[in-house]
Structure formats: C-alpha cells, structure tokens
C-alpha cells in the first residue's frame, strides 16, 4: 500500500482525498477504510 501511495503522489502531487482513496482501492487490507494511510498521504501532499 505504501508503494502504491508513493506512485500516486509521484504521478499527481496535487491529489485530493477522493483520488487517493480511489487509487488505493483493491489493496488487501481495507478494514479501516485506509483512514490512517489517507491521513498520512494527505499530510504529505497537503490535500484536504
């Protein structure tokens, strides 16, 4: 999941939270809805 998030940020450094969520769909662990991962990526790119 971290590698996918890294790819998404490199591809589009202005990601929105919705784009992040769509980009991470299909990963195995979705029990938390990626909340912490989305928060971390959003903090890096400054997404709202």
Per-position pLDDT tens, the chain of length 48: 788 889 999 999 888 989 988 988 877 666 776 788 888 888 888 865
pTM score, two decimals? 0.70
pLDDT of residue 26: 77
Pure H helices in the chain: 2-11, 17-24, 35-45
Report residue 3 CA to chain centroid gap. Answer: 10
CA atoms of 12 and 48, how far apart (whole Å): 15
**How many distinct structural domains can be found in the chain?**
1
Instruction: Report the pLDDT value the prediction gives residue 47, as an integer from 0 to 100.
Output: 63
pLDDT at 19: 92
Residue 19: closest CA among 4, 3, 29, 30: 4
Domain hosting residue 6, numbered range: 2-45
């Amino acid at each position: 999941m971290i590698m996918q998030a890294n790819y998404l940020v490199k591809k589009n450094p202005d990601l929105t939270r919705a784009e992040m969520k769509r980009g991470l769909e299909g990963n195995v662990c979705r029990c938390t809805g990626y909340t912490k991962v989305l928060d971390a990526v959003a903090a890096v790119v400054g997404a709202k």
